[in-house]
Amino acid sequence: LTIHIAKHAGFCFGVKNAIDMALNSVAKNKRIFTYGNIIHNPHVIRDLEKKGINIIFNIEDVPSGTDIAIVIRSHGAPPEVYDALNNRGVEVIDATCPYVKRIHTKVKAAADENKTVVIIGEKEHPEVTGIKGWAGVNAYVVYSADDVLALPDIKSALVVAQTTTTKQKWDELILLLSQKIEFAEAFMSICSTTEERQEEAVELAKMSDMVVVIGGKESSNTRKLFDICKKHCTSTLHIENIEELAIEKIKGNDIISIVAGASTPDWLIREVYLRMSENEMIPADNNLEQSNIGGEETNAVEAANSDFMKELEKSFVKIRRGQLINGIVVQATEDEAYINIGYKTDGMLTKSEFSIEGNINPSDVLHIGDEIEVEVLTLNDGQGNVLLSKKRSEAKSKWNDFVNDVDNEKVYSCKVNKVVKGGLLAKINGYDTFIPASQVGLRYVEDLTSFEGKEINVSIIDIDKRQKRIVASHKAILINEEKQKTAELWEKFSKGDIIKGTVKRLADFGAFVDIGGIDGLLHIRDISWNNIKHPSEVVHEGDSFDVIVLNTDPEKKRISLGLKQLLPKPWDLAPEKYLVGDIVEGKVVRIVPFGAFVELEPGIDGLIHVSQIATRRLERVEDELRLGDIVTAKVMEVVPSKRKISLSRREILMDEQRASAPKSDEKSRETDDDRYELPPVQETTVTLGDFFPKSDE
């Protein structure tokens, strides 16, 4: 059994200060009263009563006179209480906790300026009553969403909290309040001691089989600790005294944590601890005693409690059940060995607990004087023997060695023994290993049966040290293998390489091309020498062709590819394809005031000047040609360097007319040419480069 005691268990600074002030006041030789319970702990109250410090609950019951002293507890009190006490002429010993006092000052300043105050806290709690008193008439207390909803219309308010409010409650209500009112200030007045105590309680509850919360049933902060622990550890007990701790309840738990409220005395915590350890080995020199509170005894109590806490710390690393300890062999026979572990009796090590290797006689291995490590199995086997185990100690150190050696990068081979719901069972180094279904393949594997009996590689992703169970992943290995393959692929490609690729996907800006495990981007501008609006004008999903690697960025996992770079530029071939005098056909793709552009092939347009469109003189190009018309024209001039081809339709029409005209009429007929004196083609001074689309070099 391992018992953890919360570091922040027991009296907080404010409570301790109040008790000290009350005890010190005894020396004044006055009749001392506390106004209300100075602490929500009946044990402490009884001790104080023994010292002559009694409680008064109603201000009317306070006797008058200078021989009376009234202690205001750490919760504080509203101003009318101070007034009433002063009127009675009694001495007021103000033990209000400075943290609470700070809130009083804050809310009083707000009240003096007629500001509204909202207090997050328990309406009936004395600390809240005190704060509300100092906050004046414009003060409201909220502790739930309903309380917030019930608030009247408030323009702006100072918001404070009862010091023992949980952080969660503060956050919840601040959120709700922020939707209803404007904050003049949100003064987060939760006491840091309380916060730390609650945070530690969460941590301990999470790691424990059971939590015992010690403190008065009336104590607000203890009740909150109980609620917090219960949330994280269903087996949580709230006890006020040792009598409420039934040993049967704690049996069977390996890890128990003790948490205590701010009003719980250390001696009570120690008493609970000792009760839990009843059957455990307590250090022989542990002479701690239970004490009470008050006067000289108080000092003794504090000293003893302080010693106790130190001794307690030590006792965790001393001898207890399950603990590993070094001892000296004092006797060894075939059936057992006796080991001196520094305790009042030697420990007994039986043959069955001797070795993980199996049936070995202790006397065959051990010699008197040998030092060995053993685990304490039990402190009393019923006959007063301390039973030890070397086997468990060996198993533990083997396990520890294994755990220390584990790292996420390491690959373990294991055989799948069984397919179970949710995954695979295997063993790594003899330890139970679970491979969740989500960790079996790169994609979720529905049917795991094919893995049964298979040897697979895994890496360890989690270890339950208490249960000695391992969670492993086969998927992590597969991911690593993929990564390695991809890294090798990246090394394979370099700028200028020509490789075969297959179009996997088209996007508006280009095509993703699989080049053997890596997708490269074939940008739209690198697909064709022509201006295309969408990659689908040239390439389609599933198409395979050679591409050139334009750039690689292994860091960003990007590779740019080119297709047009492997193709000739259309204008490079133009001089061979288009000769002066050739008759060509094309589509009218653009009409301008001085002529019509005719696409001869993608990327190559020729111009028919307006004077070369018809045999008659035209006012407008549209009088003869329309966009999309297919026209036949004669090549008049080719200038590749300027990406310029001049065409004439008129020439063809003229040729046709000449061919069809009767020979005798030839001289007498007047042609459009004669009538309009059209300029020769060579005199055309249009700069075609200004109008032809520019193609990429």
Residues labelled catalytic: 127
**How far apart are alpha carbons 304 and 311 in whole angstroms?**
10
The residue from 99, 431, 512, 597 that contacts ligand SF4 (CB under 6 A) is 99
Nearest to 571, CA basis, from 646, 645, 635, 643: 643
Question: What are the residues whose beta carbons fall under 8 Å from the beta carbon of 57, sequence distance 6 or more?
Answer: 35, 36
Q: How far is the CB of 159 from ligand SF4 (least distance, A)?
A: 17
How many whole angstroms from its chain centre is CA 480? 23
Question: What are the residues whose beta carbons fall under 8 Å from the beta carbon of 493, sequence distance 6 or more?
Answer: 499, 515, 518, 549, 552, 559
| DSSP for residue 454 | -
Question: What are the residues whose beta carbons fall under 8 Å from the beta carbon of 662, sequence distance 6 or more?
Answer: none
Q: Are strands 53-56 and 31-35 parallel, antiparallel or unpaired?
A: parallel
The residue from 111, 139, 191, 260 that contacts ligand SF4 (CB under 6 A) is 191
Length of the chain: 697
**How far apart are alpha carbons 591 and 603 in whole angstroms?**
17
User: Where does this chain touch ligand SF4 (CB under 6 A) — which range of 13-21, 358-366, 471-479, 573-581?
Assistant: 13-21
The residue from 116, 129, 162, 194 that contacts ligand SF4 (CB under 6 A) is 194
Residue 191 vs 374, nearer CB to ligand SF4: 191
Cβ-proximal residue to ligand SF4, closest one:
14
100 binds ligand SF4 (CB under 6 A): yes
What φ, ψ does residue 328 adopt, rounded to 5°?
Answer: -110, 135
Q: How far is the CB of 207 from ligand SF4 (least distance, A)?
A: 25
13 binds ligand SF4 (CB under 6 A): yes
Nearest to 354, CA basis, from 345, 366, 369: 366
Residue 103 vs 584, nearer CB to ligand SF4: 103
Q: How far is the CB of 75 from ligand SF4 (least distance, A)?
A: 7
14 binds ligand SF4 (CB under 6 A): yes
Q: How far is the CB of 193 from ligand SF4 (least distance, A)?
A: 4
Q: How far is the CB of 15 from ligand SF4 (least distance, A)?
A: 5
Q: How far is the CB of 52 from ligand SF4 (least distance, A)?
A: 24
Is the distance from CB of 643 to CB of 571 less than 8 angstroms? yes
Site for ligand SF4 in 568-627 (CB under 6 A): none
187 binds ligand SF4 (CB under 6 A): no
Q: How far is the CB of 256 from ligand SF4 (least distance, A)?
A: 25
**How far apart are alpha carbons 512 and 516 in whole angstroms?**
12
| DSSP for residue 317 | T
Tokens of 215: 């403190």
Question: What are the residues whose beta carbons fall under 8 Å from the beta carbon of 534, sequence distance 6 or more?
Answer: 506, 508, 524
Site for ligand SF4 in 312-331 (CB under 6 A): none
User: Where does this chain touch ligand SF4 (CB under 6 A) — which range of 8-16, 513-521, 539-547, 564-572?
Assistant: 8-16
The residue from 74, 166, 208, 684 that contacts ligand SF4 (CB under 6 A) is 74
Q: How far is the CB of 96 from ligand SF4 (least distance, A)?
A: 9
Q: How far is the CB of 158 from ligand SF4 (least distance, A)?
A: 18
Tokens of 430: 């003899």
The kind and range of the H/E element at 364 are helix 362-365
Number of residues near ligand SF4 (by CB under 6 A):
14
Residue 163 vs 393, nearer CB to ligand SF4: 163
647 binds ligand SF4 (CB under 6 A): no
User: Where does this chain touch ligand SF4 (CB under 6 A) — which range of 26-34, 190-198, 288-296, 540-548?
Assistant: 190-198
Residue 85 vs 262, nearer CB to ligand SF4: 262
82 binds ligand SF4 (CB under 6 A): no
Point out which residues pair with 630 in neighbouring strands: 587
User: Where does this chain touch ligand SF4 (CB under 6 A) — which range of 93-101, 117-125, 392-400, 609-617?
Assistant: 93-101
The residue from 12, 148, 269, 518 that contacts ligand SF4 (CB under 6 A) is 12
- CB burial of 85-95 (b: ≥16 within 10 Å; e: otherwise) equals beebebbbbeb
Residue 164 vs 439, nearer CB to ligand SF4: 164
Write the interaction track for ligand SF4 spanning residues 222-261; mark x where CB under 6 A is met and - where it is not: ----------------------------------------
198 binds ligand SF4 (CB under 6 A): no
**How far apart are alpha carbons 374 and 354 in whole angstroms?**
9
Place of tokens 């893995």: 451
Question: What are the residues whose beta carbons fall under 8 Å from the beta carbon of 428, sequence distance 6 or more?
Answer: 412, 414, 458, 460, 470, 472
Residue 12 vs 71, nearer CB to ligand SF4: 12
Nearest to 109, CA basis, from 121, 101, 98: 101
Instruction: List, as one string, the DSSP characters of 644-682.
Output: EEEEESHHHHHHHHHHHS-GGGTTTPPPHHHHHTPPPGG
Site for ligand SF4 in 650-669 (CB under 6 A): none
How many whole angstroms from its chain centre is CA 90? 58
Q: How far is the CB of 233 from ligand SF4 (least distance, A)?
A: 23
Which stretches of the chain bind ligand SF4, using CB under 6 A?
12-15, 74, 97, 99-100, 163-164, 191, 193-194, 262
